[in-house]
Amino acid sequence: MPEINAERVLADLHALRSVAAYKTGVHRPTLSAAHIVSLQWLEAELGAIGHETKIDGIANVFGFAPVSGPKILAGSHLESQNHAGWLDGPLGIVYALEAARAIHADPAFANCGVDVVSCCDEEGHFGSFLGSRSAVGELDDTALDAAKDRTNGKRMRDALAAAGFAGKPRHVVDPKRYIGFLEAHIEQGDWLIVKDLTIGIVTTIVGIRQYRITFEGFQNHAGTTRMAIRRDAGAALVRLAAEVDATFPAMAAPGTVWTVGRIDVTPGAPSVIPGHAEMLLQTRDPDNQVLDRLEAAVTKLVGDANSNGPCKVSIEQTRRTEPAVMAPLLMDAIRDAAEAHVPGRHQDMPSGAGHDAMVFSRHMPSSMLFVPSIGGISHHWTENTSDADIVMGARVFVDAAARLLKAAR
Amino acid sequence: MPEINAERVLADLHALRSVAAYKTGVHRPTLSAAHIVSLQWLEAELGAIGHETKIDGIANVFGFAPVSGPKILAGSHLESQNHAGWLDGPLGIVYALEAARAIHADPAFANCGVDVVSCCDEEGHFGSFLGSRSAVGELDDTALDAAKDRTNGKRMRDALAAAGFAGKPRHVVDPKRYIGFLEAHIEQGDWLIVKDLTIGIVTTIVGIRQYRITFEGFQNHAGTTRMAIRRDAGAALVRLAAEVDATFPAMAAPGTVWTVGRIDVTPGAPSVIPGHAEMLLQTRDPDNQVLDRLEAAVTKLVGDANSNGPCKVSIEQTRRTEPAVMAPLLMDAIRDAAEAHVPGRHQDMPSGAGHDAMVFSRHMPSSMLFVPSIGGISHHWTENTSDADIVMGARVFVDAAARLLKAAR
């Protein structure tokens, strides 16, 4: 079987870290100078093993194995969240690169190959999975024209032009070329680490529903307005959010999560009764039936709040992402490889976060491999995984790819 | 008894309204051009009845009656909240001016007088009761140096200089000169209007306590972090705010009010578990014992939240204003005048809002007269009072002043 080079895997990850170091993490926003350096680094590494390479018109990096036999597409992303962790993205890129090298170097796999893709902006600085959607042909030019950096408002077109990618075509992959798409990623939660497991085999990427709940009251003087006649939009929001907190646990599945990530109370002055308030509620679960149940529950709470007064409450769904089911063929290969290297120390699990594999799964069989996150920390510069787990993850990933290629050979 | 001129009272109020009209209200922030015009208007009107006038170094307007007998100090403020009502402030100024005119015009009160004061910035654009605190000698230059406009950050010193008031001394009143301080104001609540009453006699201006309650959790990924291990600062805030909502009613007095006017949840993104949250809680009651009770209750809720986890919760008192007790001598005069003009249609009541009378009451006997606010609306351009109530308020106010002067003559 193809062998990985553990030192090279760690060295590659540290090379990418050093491009954009921030404390023990990195700051490598999409199309920042550091991000572009990392794309060029990947292109050079792929070129070094004889892959045909390109960085396309949306800054996706591709490396195509010049072989006639079975091929796998593997990859992830290279940009980071602002001031975030060093492995979120690069881990999947380095595993894919290592798989391409190991397969390339193994004479038994002479006609097989691993194509590598780095999908631009998985972290959503400019939009939602723009790079992978472009790679599967789901992104039209109008959507790309409209994309702007959420941090500084800069147009993605301008950022691409500044990086020298303007006018380049955007490559769309041919699903028929591949057995499927494989992506490795840090878990970003603590399911693996608390159970002392090494490998997660992703079965589903959760569906996401997001709601804006709006409360219209009446702004008035906080000293002179009796409690009985107030129409306090902030108080109405607190009551509804507390009811969500109280009722959701009984109807959620064990892995369901829900979050009120944003609360806005207007005008926000200590002596003024809020006249307007908004909250964003997000629910995630692999099972649409669970999400339907929670949606019905919060819709009823909103209706009850409206009936009971004193504020007008409304709910609007602002996002709906369907759960993405991973392919048994690929899951089996990851599970078999994990059982071979870390017997009993793996589990099937859903992904609570969205990933490029979610986009690819709509066009070809896809699955993901997770490695443990220390403390379950994610989107923070303290995010980390032990070297031992990083290396074992690479070993299982490359073995899984080899098993798939061998079976198709 | 001195007679008011009802048409003149209404005409004066409309004249002040026209200086800064915004919809049916006004926009006349402290030291805006419109505010300065209104100060000059008042000075001219006071000069017209022979008062000695000045606009001092903090833009307080004074008019001193040139008489040797008993005197009352009366007044309020001329600036408005941003885009707010036309009577909040000007009503008390016009009543004071009308009292000065009516007493001046009545030969039976030849040796008596009503001094008039317009206190700058009661509405707190630059600070807390800066004008009245200056007028009673409570404001030092250092505090004035530090005052900045909460809307645009402009220094009050610069705004005063631009208006031509730089270098002028700030006048401090001599309490021995006066029987006391009288202020009229719109109620700003709906106690009078719902009971179909015409006059409120203010017994106490409420004490105010304000708290910042801070929640420290841990910011993490809203998709990958299990509910069981979350330290969601926003969820902790919602729980505590809901507990305040649930427990305060049973321990409050009938007139107690409490408000969560501000909620901040950080970072405020839909897919990020809030790591930090803050709320501002304000309580108001005329009775310190009630405020003590609420303070003990919220402090216990914070302690319980800390003990039960998962977030670190702390509470800090950021403001404490003592209740201000009004003077029986002045309250009696207002009540007797009200009973004479609107028998049975008046009531003693606390003020839920702070007023300049609160500051003056620390230095001389003080009281306030309230007229009804339609719908209890305040700090909004739709604030209003019927012409009939405005005129009757002026009649009762002038009568009360006359009764006090007559008794002291």
Six-digit token pair at B2?
Answer: 């001195």
Both B27 and B84 in a single domain?
Answer: yes
**A167 φ/ψ sector (left φ>0, alpha ψ -120 to 50, else beta):** left
The residue out of A276, A297, A321 marking a domain boundary is A321
Q: Which secondary-structure segment (H or E) carries A33? A: helix A33-48
**Which of A229, A245, A252 has the CB atom closest to B235's CB atom?**
A245
- In whole angstroms, how far apart are CA A111 and each of A67, A329, B22? 5, 21, 79
**B297 with B175: CB under 8 angstroms?**
no
Contacts of residue A81 in chain B, CB cutoff 8 Å?
none
Q: Across the A/B interface, how many CB contacts are shorter than 8 Å? A: 197
Q: How far apart are CA B250 and CA B248, in angstroms?
A: 6
Q: How far apart are CA A73 and CA A165, in angstroms?
A: 23
CB contact under 8 A, A270 and B259: yes
Chain B residue nearest residue A283, CA to CA: B223
Looking at the complex, report in whole angstroms how far the Cα of residue B59 sits from the nearest Cα belonging to chain A. 25
Both A72 and A145 in a single domain?
Answer: yes
Residue A364 lies in a domain: yes
Q: How far apart are CA A395 and CA A93, in angstroms?
A: 14
pLDDT tens track, chain A, 409 positions: 899 999 999 999 999 999 999 999 999 999 999 999 999 999 999 999 999 999 999 999 999 999 999 999 999 999 999 999 999 999 999 999 999 999 999 999 999 999 999 999 999 999 999 999 999 999 999 999 999 998 889 999 999 999 999 999 999 999 999 999 999 999 999 999 999 999 999 999 999 999 999 999 999 899 999 999 999 999 999 999 999 999 999 999 999 999 999 999 999 988 899 999 999 999 999 999 999 999 999 999 999 999 998 999 999 999 999 999 999 999 999 999 999 999 999 999 999 999 999 999 999 999 999 999 999 998 889 999 999 999 999 999 999 999 999 999 8
Both B130 and B263 in a single domain?
Answer: no
- What is the average pLDDT across B378-400? 96
Closest CA to A183 of A270, A99, A289, A66: A99
Contacts of residue A186 in chain B, CB cutoff 8 Å?
none
Whether residue B143 has pLDDT greater than 90:
yes
* The predicted structure's pLDDT at residue A126: 96
Residue A403 lies in a domain: yes
What are the residues whose beta carbons fall under 8 Å from the beta carbon of A176, sequence distance 6 or more?
Answer: none
- DSSP one-letter string for A326-379: PPHHHHHHHHHHHHHHSTT-EEEEEESS--HHHHHTTTS-EEEEEE--GGG--S
Q: How far apart are CA B94 and CA B42, in angstroms?
A: 9
How many structural domains compose chain B?
A: 2
Q: Does A377 touch chain B (CB under 8 A)?
A: yes
Mean pLDDT rounded to a whole number for chain B: 96
Chain A residue nearest residue B353, CA to CA: A223
Both B102 and B70 in a single domain?
Answer: yes
CB contact under 8 A, A190 and B229: yes
Both B48 and B111 in a single domain?
Answer: yes
Chain A residue nearest residue B205, CA to CA: A223
- In whole angstroms, how far apart are CA B78 and each of A117, B27, B43, B90, B110? 68, 11, 12, 5, 28
Q: Does A249 touch chain B (CB under 8 A)?
A: yes
Contacts of residue A223 in chain B, CB cutoff 8 Å?
188, 206, 208, 257, 284, 351-354
> Residue A281 is part of a domain; what is its CATH number?
3.30.70.360
- In whole angstroms, how far apart are CA A96 and each of A19, A115, A394, B399? 19, 8, 9, 90
Q: Does B38 touch chain A (CB under 8 A)?
A: no
The residue out of A279, A297, A321 marking a domain boundary is A321
* The predicted structure's pLDDT at residue A151: 85
- In whole angstroms, how far apart are CA B126 and each of B76, B160, B167, B179, B319? 17, 11, 19, 30, 16
Range of the domain at A109: 6-205+324-408
CB contact under 8 A, B263 and A234: yes
Between strands B61-64 and B257-266, the pairing is unpaired
Both B196 and B212 in a single domain?
Answer: no
Residue B276 lies in a domain: yes
Both A172 and A293 in a single domain?
Answer: no
Between strands A113-118 and A71-76, the pairing is parallel
Residue type for position B25? G
CB contact under 8 A, B376 and A225: yes
- Read off the DSSP letter of residue A19: T
**pTM for the model:** 0.86
Q: How far apart are CA A281 and CA A267, in angstroms?
A: 21
Alpha helix segments (H runs only) across B84-197? 90-105, 130-135, 141-146, 156-162, 191-194
Residue B239 lies in a domain: yes
Q: pLDDT digits over B35-82, tens only? A: 999 999 999 999 999 999 999 999 999 999 999 999 999 999 999 999
Residue B1 lies in a domain: no
What are the residues whose beta carbons fall under 8 Å from the beta carbon of A306, sequence distance 6 or more?
Answer: A312, A313, A314
Both B147 and B178 in a single domain?
Answer: yes
Chain A, 306 to 365: residues with Cβ < 8 Å from chain B are 319, 351-354
Looking at the complex, report in whole angstroms how far the Cα of residue A164 sits from the nearest Cα belonging to chain B. 32
Contacts of residue B264 in chain A, CB cutoff 8 Å?
268
Chain B residue nearest residue A355, CA to CA: B223
Chain A, 140 to 199: residues with Cβ < 8 Å from chain B are 187-191
Both B101 and B234 in a single domain?
Answer: no
**Which of A188, A255, A274 has the CB atom closest to B221's CB atom?**
A188
Looking at the complex, report in whole angstroms how far the Cα of residue A284 sits from the nearest Cα belonging to chain B. 7
Both B238 and B373 in a single domain?
Answer: no
Handedness of CA A371, A375, A380, A384 (dihedral sign): negative
> Residue B199 is part of a domain; what is its CATH number?
3.40.630.10
**A170 with A57: CB under 8 angstroms?**
yes
* The predicted structure's pLDDT at residue B190: 92
**Which of B234, B282, B351 has the CB atom closest to A222's CB atom?**
B282
Whether residue B150 has pLDDT greater than 90:
no
> What is the percent of chain B where pLDDT is above 70?
100
- In whole angstroms, how far apart are CA B110 and each of B2, B22, B101, B397, B406? 11, 41, 12, 19, 11
Q: How far apart are CA A36 and CA A24, in angstroms?
A: 20
- Read off the DSSP letter of residue B227: G
The residue out of B292, B321, B350 marking a domain boundary is B321
State the helix-helix crossing angle for B90-105 and B6-18, rounded to 10 degrees.
140
CB contact under 8 A, B257 and A208: no
**A83 with A123: CB under 8 angstroms?**
no
Q: pLDDT digits over B167-181, tens only? A: 999 999 999 999 999
* The predicted structure's pLDDT at residue B203: 97
Looking at the complex, report in whole angstroms how far the Cα of residue A380 sits from the nearest Cα belonging to chain B. 8
Whether residue B218 has pLDDT greater than 90:
yes
Looking at the complex, report in whole angstroms how far the Cα of residue B323 sits from the nearest Cα belonging to chain A. 13
Q: Which secondary-structure segment (H or E) carries A199? A: strand A199-205
User: What band does B23 get if pLDDT is binned at 50, 70 and 90?
Assistant: very high
Q: pLDDT digits over A79-121, tens only? A: 999 999 999 999 999 999 999 999 999 999 999 999 999 999 9
Q: Which secondary-structure segment (H or E) carries B261? A: strand B257-266
Both A163 and A242 in a single domain?
Answer: no
CB contact under 8 A, B380 and A220: yes
Residue B20 lies in a domain: yes
Whether residue B148 has pLDDT greater than 90:
yes
Handedness of CA A339, A345, A348, A352 (dihedral sign): negative
- What is the average pLDDT across B313-338? 97
Q: How far apart are CA B361 and CA A388, in angstroms?
A: 74
Q: Which of B221, B257, B318, B371 to mutate to test the interface with A (most CBs of A within 10 A)?
A: B221
Residue B63 lies in a domain: yes
Chain A, 82 to 101: residues with Cβ < 8 Å from chain B are none
Closest CA to A218 of A237, A238, A234, A242: A234
**Which of A232, A238, A265 has the CB atom closest to B242's CB atom?**
A238
Owner of token pair 């649409």: A288
Chain A, 270 to 299: residues with Cβ < 8 Å from chain B are 270-274, 280, 282, 284
Both B75 and B92 in a single domain?
Answer: yes
Contacts of residue A238 in chain B, CB cutoff 8 Å?
238, 241-242, 245, 260
Alpha helix segments (H runs only) across B209-251? 233-251
Contacts of residue A351 in chain B, CB cutoff 8 Å?
223-224
Residue A1 lies in a domain: no
- φ and ψ at residue A200, rounded to 5 degrees: -110, 135
